[in-house]
Amino acid sequence: MTALPLLLVPGLMCDHTVWDPLLPQLSPVHACTVVDHGHANSLSQMAVQLVADAPSQFYIAGHSMGARVALEVLRIAPDRVAGVALLDTGYLPKLAGAAGEEEVRKRMALLQIAQDQGVRAMAREWVQGMVHPDRLKDVELIERILVMFERKDATIFANQLHALIHRPDANDVLSAIRVPTLILCGRQDFWSPPSQHEAMHQLAPHARLAVVEEAGHMAPMERPEAVAAEMLRWLDTET
């Protein structure tokens, strides 16, 4: 029996670069396709685009914003998803009040840098809190991240920020998941910390919760072997 395809959904300003380090382990098992969000400016639009181009049945793995897109795919087409992996992500909408306003302020400050100084300058600022602190000295890793961001422009950044700021509450989607599920994050993911993933696990208790040591928010790029191993374990639950 042929294994179902695996759709890989990148996060904010990301692309195949995030997933490439995992492909040597994943591709021999499943046909992998990395999704492109184009100029979509809402998570629901990203999900609709994905479903329109997707095969009738598939596994889906999302990283960061991409995992939120995966949750929206589950909202609109749950019967087509054979399994879902949610990496370094969250499920709550923007907080009300001052906390939500502060999130918007920080995101808009990055957009201003992208518009005034270029996407690379913005990415250099963004990456400071997105990898394990020790990896900030990893010139090759940081350069791959900066070049990846540079492939998109400030307009796409603005659209994706809009999508994140107006993200829906996914409590109900998480609670309704019945397919094999992986919830994973880096131990030093300060943007989407382990505690957030533990809360997601409470909503989807059948899921496997995995925390990758010595990794930040960009866990698939920082610790690809460990992340791929957890994903293969997830995929093997039904294949």
Model confidence over 27-53: pLDDT tens digits?
Answer: 999 999 999 999 999 999 999 999 999
Fold of 6-94+168-235: Rossmann fold (3.40.50)
What is the reported pLDDT for 80? 98
Task: Say what the pTM is.
Answer: 0.96
What is the reported pLDDT for 187? 98
What is the reported pLDDT for 111? 98
Residues in the chain where the model's pLDDT stays below 50: 1, 239
What is the reported pLDDT for 1? 47
What is the reported pLDDT for 239? 39
Cα distance between the two ends of the chain: 9
User: What single letter denotes the amino acid at residue 155?
Assistant: T
Alpha-carbon span 115 to 155, nearest angstrom: 9
Beta-carbon-side half-sphere exposure of residue 95 (alpha carbons within 13 Å): 9
Helix axes 65-76, 154-165, angle to 10 degrees: 60
The pLDDT tens digits for 130-149 are 999 999 999 999 999 999 99
What is the reported pLDDT for 228? 98
